[in-house]
């Protein structure tokens, strides 16, 4: 059993929302000195190896989150299986993950719903092709969610460590 708790964010192309969420959560964990949580991301239709968009990188600097070394990767059954918690940016992403690996349903959540179950609800809009201001707004929206859910994630990590 791994002592790491693994959190994966999922969006479409893995160049905007999920890398921003990954960078934001990593920064929050770093600020608290928490080292036993691995954070990564993927995309439901992502190609491999693309960097985060320039605006996603710039917007992430709001929290001094560095995503300059990010490389996109497609969502796979293996990534789903190894994750303890999967946070989807939209209802469609949530359903796509469940469709890929139905037995993982219990660890898949819509980001804005977490910790409540279910894929229905409000998603995080895709800023791709938008202005830097749109990316900044998206990052702030993701950041608010990360701040809201961090205590629950930390609690789940503690529970896993006790198991």
Greatest CA separation found in the chain?
Answer: 46
Active site residue 16: no
Among 117, 119, 113, 114, smallest CA distance to 97 is for 119
Given 6, 61, 84, 126, the catalytic residue: 126
Given 6, 16, 17, 32, the catalytic residue: 17
Q: Rounded CA gap, 154 and 31, in Å? A: 13
Given 11, 16, 94, 119, the catalytic residue: 11
Active site residue 11: yes
Active site residue 73: no
Tell me, what DSSP letter sits at residue 53?
Answer: P
| Enclosing H/E stretch for 108 | strand 108-110
Which residue numbers are catalytic? 11, 17, 126
């Amino acid at each position: 059993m791994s002592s790491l708790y693994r959190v994966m964010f999922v969006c479409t192309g893995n160049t905007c929302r999920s890398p921003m969420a990954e960078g934001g959560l990593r920064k929050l964990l770093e600020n608290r000195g928490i080292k036993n949580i691995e954070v990564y991301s993927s995309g439901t239709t992502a190609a491999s190896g693309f960097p985060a968009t320039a605006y996603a990188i710039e917007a992430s600097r709001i929290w001094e989150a560095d995503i300059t070394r990010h490389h996109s990767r497609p969502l796979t059954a293996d990534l789903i299986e190894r994750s303890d918690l999967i946070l989807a940016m939209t209802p469609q992403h949530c359903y796509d993950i469940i469709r890929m690996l139905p037995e993982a349903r219990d660890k898949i959540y819509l980001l804005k719903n977490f910790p409540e179950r279910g894929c229905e609800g409000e998603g995080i809009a895709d800023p791709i092709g938008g202005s830097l201001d749109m990316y900044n707004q998206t990052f702030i929206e993701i950041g608010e969610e990360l701040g809201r859910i961090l205590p629950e994630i930390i609690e789940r990590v503690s529970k896993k460590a006790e198991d």
